[in-house]
Amino acid sequence: MLPKIVDGATRLLGIVGDPVAQVRSPPLWSALFRYNNINAICVPFHVHPPDFSRFVDGLRMARNVLGLFVTIPHKLAAARYADALTPRARRVGTANLLRPLPDGGWEGDMLDGFGFVAALRAKDQRIEGRHAIVVGAGGVGSAIAFALAEAGVASVAIADIDTDRAEALSFRILRLARVKSLVSKAAAEGFDLIVNASPMGMREEDPSPVDLSGLAADAIVGDVVISRELTPLLRAARARGCHVQEGSEMTDHQGAAMAKFLGLETGDWSPAAIRAAMGE
């Protein structure tokens, strides 16, 4: 007999993206719910950008929806659409998670930066005093830049092929977090915390997002790209002796904060629980 995995009383946690076929959340969170004995499931919704607001407007009408993960390219739209935002989502201007408000509408949160920092701390990596460069000034790059500034780095530099976007993010960080920020080329030299927050590395044949010629062995190199094996960037960094952090570590360290935001009062949502639930 097949396992009875969903019934009429099952609650739903959605993930909306375009494309969405590649996302990890449905198997991961569905396994976590089962691990924690909660009758809920995570399901994908493939929604094109012009349809985003109409989709979330409708989904809000379903009373058994716990929340909605938001991924590329909807994170900016989600923050604009939300009726309320947590302070960190408001500051970054993007949201990667929506939860239904008791009286209607949605509240947005943005946990990518939190997860990135939490994953470094879980490995006892020092963040304070480092000179960071974040490559990619989009939603996830912005979230990480703000979170690093809050976590006490000495400086944050932003690099983006869209220099206007890099400059705009730099000024916002300067104003809010009082750290030295500058627009820079994507090169590791002079930095000891290097973050790829661009999509470069999703395909094996992508050029490196960062010039690693000046990479020091005591630098930390993190990547937001999620892949089965280490990305080429992280492989090169590990070869130099650097501490490397994978994209999945950033997401896995958001679990507990996400569960709390979604109002899940019981259960274990830690990276260890994720590994156990996924049978890894």
Contacts with a copy of itself by CB under 8 A lie at: 1-10, 12, 15-17, 20-27, 30-31, 34-35, 41-48, 51-52, 54-65, 277-279
Going by their DSSP bridges, the two strands 155-159 and 106-109 should be labelled as unpaired
**Residue number, 39 or 270, with CB nearest to a copy of itself:** 39
Shortest Cβ distance from residue 8 to a copy of itself (Å)? 4
Token pair listed for 129: 């005093």
CB-based contact 146:92 (threshold 8 Å): yes
Shortest Cβ distance from residue 224 to a copy of itself (Å)? 17
- In the sheet that holds 11-17, the strands lie side by side as 11-17, 65-70, 97-100, 106-109, 84-85
Shortest Cβ distance from residue 21 to a copy of itself (Å)? 4
The one-letter amino acid at 92: V
Dihedral angle at the C-alpha atoms of 132, 183, 80, 41, nearest 10 degrees? -30
Shortest Cβ distance from residue 74 to a copy of itself (Å)? 12
**Residue number, 34 or 243, with CB nearest to a copy of itself:** 34
Q: Is 75 labeled as catalytic in the residue annotation? A: yes
CA distance 24 to 85: 25
Q: What is the 3-state secondary structure (H, E, C) of 260-280?
A: HHCCCCCCCCCHHHHHHHCCC
**Residue number, 41 or 151, with CB nearest to a copy of itself:** 41
Shortest Cβ distance from residue 91 to a copy of itself (Å)? 29
**Residue number, 63 or 178, with CB nearest to a copy of itself:** 63
**Residue number, 61 or 103, with CB nearest to a copy of itself:** 61
**Catalytic residue among 4, 75, 123, 180, which?**
75
CB-based contact 262:66 (threshold 8 Å): yes
CB-based contact 17:42 (threshold 8 Å): no
CA distance 140 to 54: 24
Active site residues: 75
